Amino acid sequence: MLITGAEGAVGGYAVQLAKRRGAVVIASDLSSDGEFATKVAGADVYVPASQPLVEAVRKVRPEGVAAVLDTAMLGQAVIGAVADGGRFVTTRIDARPQTERGIRVLLTQVGPDGAMLSTLSDLAAAGDLALRVAKTYPLQEASKAYAHMTGGGFQGRVVLTME
């Protein structure tokens, strides 16, 4: 499985959850070293986004990967990493690639799921799901937190504290 954006919050969680299910994970992101994706999240292989991603994946898996989770909005640029008949899942409708070679293209987005949220919360509380926090702000500085969040360019989540 290939996970793009693996150093970010969604991609980082995806790497950890895929590894919990026994998947071999190739991770990619903007970071040159992939330290979070490999050392914390557990990815088997890391490919910096500065390298040609499809070629790097095909060196590791000549037949291609069974699935791609694209949280970095690479879309069509990485569908070549998927094996014939595989799956390509994106988190953004505007990053959906054209279907080819029998690849099933899917869109996933946030939705209400109390049972899954409880499971994820339990994993985090037990230390089995690493949380990546970019910066914390007290609640009274919510506008600063929002400005930080919308500015982008960070990895992890912005957290408001109630102190």
Rounded percentage of the chain residues whose pLDDT exceeds 90:
80
Measured distance CA(44)–CA(157) in Å, rounded: 24
Q: Would you list the DSSP string of 113-143? A: -HHHHHHHHHHHHTTSS---EEEEEEGGGHH
Lowest mean pLDDT among 46-50, 58-62, 132-136, 143-147: 132-136
**Which letter does DSSP use for residue 97 in this model?**
P
**SS3 call for 56:** helix
Measured distance CA(151)–CA(159) in Å, rounded: 15
Mean pLDDT of the chain: 93
Measured distance CA(31)–CA(21) in Å, rounded: 25
Contact 51, 37 (CB under 8 A): no
- Under the banding of pLDDT at 50, 70 and 90, the label for residue 75 is very high
pLDDT, tens digit (0-9, with 9 covering 90-100), for 47-60? 999 999 999 999 99
